[in-house]
């Protein structure tokens, strides 16, 4: 059992992220462009000397207790408990923990609240006990999502929240995890808007599409679906050709977007975002009608580009707007969609 002298509260804060472009290609060998955002998750942990983890959150009214070795239960606390079990396995902590999660990240919005919570928990648990850099934390968090939570995600979200800082864009090669941090031009405003449509990745739709991408890559004889040629994918059957068309075209869009960002070409970057949304809607089939209408209106009212962000099925859109037009544009969009909320 943990001694009373070790009942010290440890705390860590980690931001959320929005992906500007490069969606559904982090496990397909593509380059992605996520950006850290100001909303964040703060996790406090204190050893309680028992065999239970007692977890509470500002998002939920009740605290709940779980045995320290309990499996995932399709509960919001799974992300915390997976990280705690990982930390116990490495002897960073012992026995149960009293955990408090204070998050300003909208739940189910597609902004990687799960990755932020896992990494914040790992950071808090390892304070003074392990010297972990951002990449090590990201890979640990990915393993927790894959094995404990059961979501076969890629590495993008974890790297984005572990390495990114608000106002910079992470250009991440998901094959070797090499990356560069690019400044967002001061004349660009990136706006993240919660549609009000909740989404979850544990309901199976994410896994189905991921498996389809892997099946398409195997059928084409490539290690990564992003390596397939647009000509070769016509040999695929049914939905696989759609998934492959998205991966190959999105990989090209992402590379072109990096070039546009480096040169400050907002118009081109926005056009690529619009094309990305069309592909996510038609080829990946991960959008929903409410999101489609919101994206359409965002562009018609003056955004350079807009798209669904995250894995899809609801959540948020991200829009690119000229800084000087931001407030006028937002007022018009809010008038047309009163229930939407601006995250940043």
pLDDT, tens digit (0-9, with 9 covering 90-100), for 223-260 = 999 999 988 999 999 899 999 999 999 999 999 999 99
What CATH number is attached to the domain comprising 63?
A: 3.30.230.10
pLDDT at 215 over 60: yes
Q: Is 268 contained in some domain? A: no
Q: Give a yes or no: residue 83 inside a domain.
A: yes
Q: What is the pLDDT of residue 231?
A: 83
What number is the average pLDDT over the span 194-204?
75
Distance CA 322, CA 186 (A): 9
Domain presence at residue 89: yes
In percent, the amount of the chain with pLDDT more than 90 equals 82
Using DSSP bridges, classify how beta strands 305-308 and 341-342 pair: parallel, antiparallel or unpaired. unpaired
| Contacts of the segment 136-144: beta carbons below 8 A, 24+ positions apart | 137/162, 138/162, 138/163, 140/86, 141/83, 141/115, 143/86, 144/79, 144/82, 144/83, 144/86, 144/118
pLDDT of residue 217 exceeding 50: yes
What is the pLDDT, as a whole number, of residue 6? 59
Confidence of residue 61 (pLDDT cuts 50, 70, 90): confident
Average pLDDT over residues 274-281: 98
Task: Judge whether residue 30 has pLDDT over 60.
Answer: yes
Tokens of 83: 């990280």
Residue 203: the pLDDT is 61
Q: How would you classify the pairing of strands 97-103 and 52-57?
A: parallel
Distance, C-alpha 307 to centroid of its chain: 15
Domain count, the chain: 1
In this model, does residue 2 exceed pLDDT 60? no
Q: Of 17-21, 114-118, 148-152, 200-204, which gets the smallest average pLDDT? A: 200-204
Separation between Cα atoms, residue 288 and residue 137, nearest integer Å: 33
Residue 78 lies in a domain: yes
Tokens of 187: 């004349």
In a domain, residue 251? The reply is no
Let me know if residue 34 belongs to a domain. Answer: yes
pLDDT of residue 206: 86
Mean pLDDT, rounded, for 164-185 = 93
Which residues span the domain enclosing 31?
A: 4-183
Q: Is residue 59 part of a domain?
A: yes
Most confident among 59-63, 97-101, 308-312 (mean pLDDT):
97-101
Residues labelled catalytic:
157
Q: Where are the beta strands (DSSP E) in 96-220?
A: 97-103, 168-173, 179-183, 188-194
Mean pLDDT of the chain: 93
Quick check: is 143 in a domain? yes
pLDDT tens readout for residues 290-333: 999 999 999 999 999 999 998 889 989 999 999 999 999 999 99
């Amino acid at each position: 059992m943990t001694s009373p002298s070790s009942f010290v509260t440890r705390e860590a804060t980690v931001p959320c992220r929005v992906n500007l472009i490069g969606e559904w290609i982090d496990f397909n060998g593509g380059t992605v462009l996520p950006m850290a955002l100001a909303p964040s998750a703060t996790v406090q942990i204190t050893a309680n000397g028992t065999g239970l983890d007692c977890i509470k959150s500002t998002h939920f009214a009740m605290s709940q207790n779980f045995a320290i070795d309990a499996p995932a239960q399709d509960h919001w606390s799974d992300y915390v408990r997976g990280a705690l079990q990982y930390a116990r396995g490495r002897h960073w902590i012992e026995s149960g923990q009293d955990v408090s999660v204070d998050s300003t990240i909208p739940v189910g919005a597609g902004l990687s609240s799960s990755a932020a919570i896992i990494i914040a928990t790992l950071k808090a648990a390892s304070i003074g006990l392990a010297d972990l850099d951002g990449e090590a934390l990201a890979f640990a968090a990915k393993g927790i999502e894959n094995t404990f939570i059961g979501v076969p995600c890629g590495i993008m979200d974890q790297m984005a929240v572990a390495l990114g800082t608000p106002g910079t864009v992470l250009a991440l090669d998901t094959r070797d995890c090499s990356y560069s941090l690019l400044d967002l031009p001061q004349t660009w405003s990136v706006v993240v808007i919660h549609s009000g449509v909740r989404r979850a990745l544990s309901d199976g739709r994410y896994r189905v599409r991921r498996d389809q991408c892997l099946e398409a890559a195997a059928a084409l004889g490539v290690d990564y679906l992003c390596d397939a040629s647009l000509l070769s994918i016509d040999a695929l059957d049914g939905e696989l050709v759609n998934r492959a068309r998205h991966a190959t075209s999105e990989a090209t869009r992402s590379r072109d977007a990096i070039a546009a960002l480096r040169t400050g070409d907002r118009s081109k970057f926005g056009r690529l975002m619009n094309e990305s949304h069309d592909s996510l809607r038609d080829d990946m089939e991960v959008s929903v009608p409410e999101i489609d209408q919101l994206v359409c209106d965002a562009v018609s009212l003056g955004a350079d580009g807009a798209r669904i962000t995250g894995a899809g099925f609801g959540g948020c859109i991200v829009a690119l707007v000229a800084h000087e037009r931001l407030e006028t544009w937002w007022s018009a969009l809010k008038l047309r969609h009163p229930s939407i909320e601006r995250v940043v």
